[in-house]
Chain A
Amino acid sequence: MAALCESFTLCGLGPSGAVGLGGGLLALEPGPDPDHVLLTDRGRTATLFKVSDQKPLGCWSVKHGQIITCPVVCNFETHEYIAVHDDKVLRIWKNKDINLDKVFKATLSADVYRIHSLPNGGPVVLFKGGGVRTLDVLLEAPQQEIENIISDEIIKWSEAFMEGQQPVLIFATEKDGDFFVYVQKLKMNSLHKYKLEQQELSRPLSFTAYIKNQIITLLCLYSNDSVYEVLMPLQQNSEEEQILSKSLLLKLSVSGSVLKGTSFVVLDKDHIAILGSLAAPGEESKECLTIWNTKFQTLQTSKELPLGTSGQLWCYEEKFFFTHGKVLTVMMYKCETSSLAAAVGKLKDSQTPDVSSFVDWNTLADEELVVSFQSEQSVALKSESKMTLRSKRNTVAKVQPDTLSVGQILLNLKDASTTVFENELRQLVSKAQMPDFQASIGCVITALIKRCKTNPKYYPQNLLLHIVETRDLSYSLCPDLMAVALEKKDVHLLQICLQRFPDIPEEITYVCLKVFLSISEAYLQTTDVNLESVISYTDVEFNNKEVKTEIVENGFNAELEHDIWNTKITKETHPMADGELCPVGPQKAALLNAVLQSAYSEAFLLPHLKNLPAQQAVLFLRYLYYLYVKCSEKINTTLPGTRCPTISQIMDWMCLLLDAHFTVMVMLPEAKELLSNLHKFVRAQVRFYSELNKIEGSLQELQRRNHERDSQTYSIEVLEFI
């Protein structure tokens, strides 16, 4: 899908501006390096610009009374500039030259129409009489006679290409309403003349051409608001003048309004850009820049240019150049491969992945949001005219009304009441088609958190949960969110964050772990935690526990039992000797699983993990051991259910925990039995796997032999020879 992007002003063109002196632009040509353009005005001056810096790098003028008659071009091989003034006088200079009077000068015998500079072929000079010379040939004898081959026809347009190693020049002429096209191959010195098929009541206004697969495609913009395509084979044998037939490529009309094009460029095989005025019946026409898809005959995008243009449009390096009002404006565009879906605007928002994968760090804070949108446009501010300012405001208001409103809304809501605030935000969040949506959501969350911080009683848990669950957020997009959740002990939100955020710092992971381990089971029972990661392997224990409690209650004082529970570190109720029962409740287990599955880097986690209190470390290890045993029960060493930690995650955490608390574990009496059990279990596993290893070798060999036998002795196969 093609799209027009941001624009900026390259330079002013008015009497006060840097160039032009009111005469307007003659032409724009690519400069010696990428991102450079050469600007020639209809007067005496040529200026070299670095486009991205919006900065003139050099400016050259001919003497008063002289006029540059042909766009200045750059010889890409020598990095020299070539200009023609007063039709016949050729000037060649280099970057370091300042005064054009003192540079190389050659007076030619005929009027020059244009010079075309080709990246590998050197400059080619087209004379008004249709003669063509390469610059090298011309400089050998500047006064050489130039033939006139087009008699009284007038050249309207010309273009040059490299085809293989040879330059090809194509130009169009007019005489009495008849249009002719000439194709000149310089090396072969061959010239072909074609006559363009006549079109009743309309005439070509503008041409452009490209070459592909030995075929020149000439596109003509006609005065009847249509673009026609003319194909010319490069290999042409017949000497006669041929009539070129054209085919309609594009009709420039959209739902009643018609585009009166003035100039156009080809963007890729399916897209052309046209500058012109869009006239709807009963309305005054507006100048605008449009991109059309020729494959599907659709208008892809357009941009109004209310200040008027000169009707000229150039395009280099995915940038449009045109005069808008009194300035030369540069506008970027994107042009992607066209598909029917994209052409009718039904493509599943091909830009969204771009946006979500990259966060514009400048647009995060809400105050900055507005500023940043302004700053995007602020490049245009460089030129101080009021007109520019206005145009900027217009564009902002039209192009990005939604995005801007996020910042504005947030600003406006700063002091609103809680209910209003939340309602507005909910509405905002539900708008999926916002551009730069990720950043906006980040801002929304930041605003929420800010409100939470200023008002300790305010904590919109549901809204936060909703946002975190439905949007692809990251920690870096809303750094304070988890801190607030930790403060509020909102374990559910923490669980969701741990599951969803890809970039949680190890410190926060550790704090979560610590909170989860320290929080009491009783508190957890009352909270809502997503249990899907534990539900399928702790089922049995729930039942067991219930049965047990019943028995216990039959014979014991429940309160006493409860006390023992709290003091004795769950030793009796959660016996680990045979690894049967889970040392933590299902809620805690689910939370710990979320920690186990979050991403971390060992080196950064280890120092924090060392701070974990010994009792909690033992409890965590106990849980890890429990999971490990659970995993090993199954042949494929995975836990049943969804979102379960994998065995390697469990093992990694176990190693990490043992590394962090090695000395503590050795000293701690309650860890002793656990460690010894763990050791026994691991040793048994190692033995078991080494046995399996041996079997695997034999099995592999058997399989290999079996396989060989199968394919042996006889088969009928198909063999193709080409």
Chain B
Amino acid sequence: MGEFEVHRVRFFGLVPAGIRCLACQPHGARLALARTDGAVEIYNFAANYFQEKVIPGNQARSVEALCWVAGDRLFGAGLGGEITEYDLFRLCVAHSVDGGGGPIWSMAANNSGTQLAIGCEDGSVKLFQVVPGGIQFGQNLNRQKGRILCLSWHPSDTHIAAGSIDVVRVFNVSSGQTVQRIMMNYRVHKVKRECIVWSIAFLSSGTVVTSDSFGRVQFWDWERGTLQESHTVSTSAVLSLSVSEKEDSIIVGTSTGATYQFQLLPVKTGSLEKRWVRTKPFQHHTHDVRAVAHSSTALISGGLDAQLVIRPLVEKMQKKGYDAALRKFTFPHRCLVSCARKARLLLFQFSQHLELWRLGSTDKTGEDGEVLPLCRMPEHLVQLKSKGPEHICCSCVSPCGSWVAYSTASRFHLYEVQYNGDSVSVKKVPKVPKLLLPAYQLQFSADSGSLFIASAQGSVHVLQLLEPGGCKHLHTFRPLSGCPEAVYLLAASADGHWLAAVGGDWAIHIYNLKCFKHHCTVPTYNCAVTALAIHPVTNNLVIAYSDQQLFEFSIPEKQYTAWSRMVQNSGLHKVWLERDSPITHITFNPKNPSHILLHDIYMFCILDKSLPLPDDSDLLMNQTTLKQLPETARQWQLHAFKICKKFQPLLFADLLDENCLVMVERPIMDFKTQLPLPIQQKKFGT
């Protein structure tokens, strides 16, 4: 079909932040995750664990604990000493209240969702009433020395267990008094060492489960203060612990990167006496597992190696399928790279700065797999540092390369970049219009003449870019019916006619840019949109959903195309549907209108609509097989999906011109070396 010159880029030095805490929405289908840089992410179990929302981090705001309260309110607390409520529609901090006890190490909500308990540096446990629109200070529990590292409510909401250094205390909520004090003694050769209780859980049976820095998971009777069971799972600390809703299974995470499952099992079959048994060990992480969560069907763990691992409990699965697969997420489900096709520039988005690179070039051609000699090396042109503690939410470079825009939670910046031979000058565009911020996605039009800004409440602003270095607010699109959620994906047509916008409610609105009118809405599909793009020739909108379905919607005709219907009728290949990472970018080859180029983290695919779809008996990834076949035998084996898995993990891929591709890779080993060293473990033979 054709040869491409692939610019294999590995100089995007992205280091994803480690995972600090996890919180499963009780009875819900969402997982909240906080990273060490303060970013909060929401994953939707129902949408194939798609990373639905990202609240950008903030240098001044660490998150040590996350709590879902009253169904869908999310609170976070951190070493800044503040309790923060997040606005999940606008993806920003709704409001925050000072805890009044110094840095907050732990936070727990009671079962009824009316109270929040925080454990502070000064040793106090404070209760806050959850009220509509905020929280109010309620009471202080009996304060003693030692920071409170972990908290757990008894399911009846009458008692709180708090873990500190060397000691676990149980408080009576109504009286505020300490009713039990359990010493976590640990003596080695008569030298007493500090025992840190890293995590705690209060079971309805009255058992308190603790995990500590000596690698022990212990079960205590809180009323008598006696040890029931003790399991040493690791030689290093057990950092995190989570109990299933039925209280029959526990997952713990250790600082060696291993996680273990404990299960409450009968001593003998048929016996009523049950004991906790360590059942399954998993080693998915290389670094500390600081956070674990136990959903009804899966063990979830997050480590400082930035990996989120979702390990389904196969015994809870009805059938083998998409949900039963182990999945690991390291990189965000959206693009942090934008590409100026004409100028051959790449813009990399880091948490607090942007990097603009010019690609190298070659004057040679070669055969498949050959590495071509470079005649010009890639060049780092500009580094733009964002001021202030806020992280960058989104960024974009215009196709001509002369405009760069980015936004943080409270500010929007537009720069004009000028290239004079080898020197590059960056000029900030003054007086950008005051808009409702933050911006969630930025997109330049194909002619670099306007900028589309995805904003809250489903609105999209259109800015006109003016030479030299100016801009003007042209219009703001809003969905007719109104929408509380923010727009998170944009796609503009090459002819400047159409704009597609997807909001958090997954509705796709199409606007006419010529007459600034709402054109139509794509029929609702009950799954998250992961990528979309408008075909430059046919103006068909290609949509990838998180359940791996692909749709093609004709904008002029306001209906799905015949090809799309054909795909839905015959169904996509089983292997395609079972992939575990979403399509994050779609692009087209204007010289080959039947081709759709798409990619996820693990593969790059050219979808040739002119070829038949593979059925389940065909080999989906057949490129290697095809290459071994003689030319004449190939055509019987050809099918629409041409998949290349050579580039992994693939953060971004785009078409520069008709036979030139750019692939941005971030090898796992490259960023692992930049993480702090994990605990050294003696391995045999080293």
Q: Does any Cβ of B come within 8 Å of A712's Cβ?
A: yes
Contact B642–A722 (Cβ < 8 Å): yes
Q: Does any Cβ of A come within 8 Å of B189's Cβ?
A: no
Q: Does any Cβ of A come within 8 Å of B634's Cβ?
A: yes
Residues A721 and B8 in contact in the complex (CB < 8 Å), given A714-B377, A716-B371: no
Q: Does any Cβ of B come within 8 Å of A141's Cβ?
A: no
Cα(A717)–Cα(B360), bound, Å: 12
Q: Does any Cβ of A come within 8 Å of B367's Cβ?
A: yes
Cα(A716)–Cα(B10), bound, Å: 11
Contact B1–A714 (Cβ < 8 Å): no
* Residues of chain B with a CB closer than 8 A to A713's CB: 9-11, 378
* Residues of chain B with a CB closer than 8 A to A717's CB: 5-6, 8, 369-372
In the complex, per-residue mask of B638-656: 1 if CB is within 8 Å of any chain A CB, else 0: 1000101010000000000
Contact B1–A721 (Cβ < 8 Å): yes
Contact residues, A707-722 vs B (CB, 8 A): 712-722
In the complex, per-residue mask of B364-403: 1 if CB is within 8 Å of any chain A CB, else 0: 0111111110100110000000000000000000000000
Contact A716–B374 (Cβ < 8 Å): yes
Q: Does any Cβ of A come within 8 Å of B516's Cβ?
A: no
Contact B3–A714 (Cβ < 8 Å): no
Contact A716–B642 (Cβ < 8 Å): no
* Residues of chain B with a CB closer than 8 A to A720's CB: 2-4, 367-368, 627
* CB proximity of A576 to chain B, nearest CB, Å: 41
Q: Does any Cβ of A come within 8 Å of B7's Cβ?
A: yes
* Residues of chain A with a CB closer than 8 A to B638's CB: 722
* Residues of chain A with a CB closer than 8 A to B378's CB: 713-714
Size bracket, chain B contacts: 35 or more
Residues A712 and B366 in contact in the complex (CB < 8 Å), given A717-B372, A720-B627: no
* CB proximity of B361 to chain A, nearest CB, Å: 8
Instruction: Label chain B's interface by main secondary structure.
Output: mixed
Contact B3–A718 (Cβ < 8 Å): yes
Contact A719–B367 (Cβ < 8 Å): no
Contact B8–A718 (Cβ < 8 Å): no
Q: Does any Cβ of A come within 8 Å of B324's Cβ?
A: no
Contact residues, A186-202 vs B (CB, 8 A): none
Contact A714–B372 (Cβ < 8 Å): no
User: Contact check: which of B10, B367, B627, B644 meets A718 at CB < 8 Å?
Assistant: B367
Residue of A nearest to B9 (CB): A714
Q: Does any Cβ of A come within 8 Å of B107's Cβ?
A: no
* CB proximity of A222 to chain B, nearest CB, Å: 37
* CB proximity of A694 to chain B, nearest CB, Å: 13
Q: Does any Cβ of A come within 8 Å of B148's Cβ?
A: no
* CB proximity of A702 to chain B, nearest CB, Å: 16
Contact A719–B6 (Cβ < 8 Å): yes
Cα(A713)–Cα(B377), bound, Å: 11
In the complex, per-residue mask of B618-646: 1 if CB is within 8 Å of any chain A CB, else 0: 00000100110000001000100010101
Q: Does any Cβ of A come within 8 Å of B31's Cβ?
A: no
Cα(A623)–Cα(B225), bound, Å: 81
Contact B8–A716 (Cβ < 8 Å): yes
* CB proximity of B277 to chain A, nearest CB, Å: 41
Residue of B nearest to A697 (CB): B686
Cα(A716)–Cα(B376), bound, Å: 11
Contact B1–A722 (Cβ < 8 Å): yes
* Residues of chain B with a CB closer than 8 A to A718's CB: 3-6, 365-370, 372
* Residues of chain B with a CB closer than 8 A to A714's CB: 7-11, 360, 374, 377-378
* Residues of chain B with a CB closer than 8 A to A719's CB: 3-4, 6, 368-369, 644, 646, 661
Contact B606–A715 (Cβ < 8 Å): no
* Residues of chain A with a CB closer than 8 A to B642's CB: 721-722
Q: Does any Cβ of A come within 8 Å of B362's Cβ?
A: yes
Contact A716–B362 (Cβ < 8 Å): yes
* CB proximity of A701 to chain B, nearest CB, Å: 11
Cα(A712)–Cα(B361), bound, Å: 16
Contact B7–A722 (Cβ < 8 Å): no
Cα(A715)–Cα(B378), bound, Å: 9
* Residues of chain A with a CB closer than 8 A to B7's CB: 714, 716
* CB proximity of A238 to chain B, nearest CB, Å: 27
Residue of A nearest to B627 (CB): A722
* Residues of chain A with a CB closer than 8 A to B606's CB: 721
* CB proximity of B422 to chain A, nearest CB, Å: 19
Cα(A720)–Cα(B10), bound, Å: 20
Cα(A714)–Cα(B379), bound, Å: 11
Contact B623–A721 (Cβ < 8 Å): yes
Residue of A nearest to B374 (CB): A716
Contact A722–B634 (Cβ < 8 Å): yes
User: Contact check: which of B4, B377, B670 meets A721 at CB < 8 Å?
Assistant: B4
Cα(A722)–Cα(B608), bound, Å: 11
Contact residues, B440-459 vs A (CB, 8 A): none
Cα(A588)–Cα(B646), bound, Å: 62
* Residues of chain A with a CB closer than 8 A to B9's CB: 713-714
Cα(A718)–Cα(B360), bound, Å: 15
* Residues of chain B with a CB closer than 8 A to A712's CB: 10, 667, 670
Cα(A483)–Cα(B378), bound, Å: 78
Would you list 12 pairs from A and B whose C-beta atoms are within 8 A, ordered by A residue? A714-B360, A714-B374, A714-B377, A715-B371, A715-B372, A717-B371, A718-B6, A718-B372, A721-B623, A722-B1, A722-B623, A722-B638
Identify 9 new A-B residue pairs, CB closer than 8 A, beyond the known A716-B372, A716-B374, A722-B626: A714-B11, A715-B8, A717-B5, A717-B371, A718-B365, A718-B372, A720-B3, A720-B4, A721-B2
Which B residues are closer than 8 A to A by beta carbons?
1-11, 360-362, 365-372, 374, 377-378, 606, 623, 626-627, 634, 638, 642, 644, 646, 661, 667, 670
Which A residues are closer than 8 A to B by beta carbons?
712-722
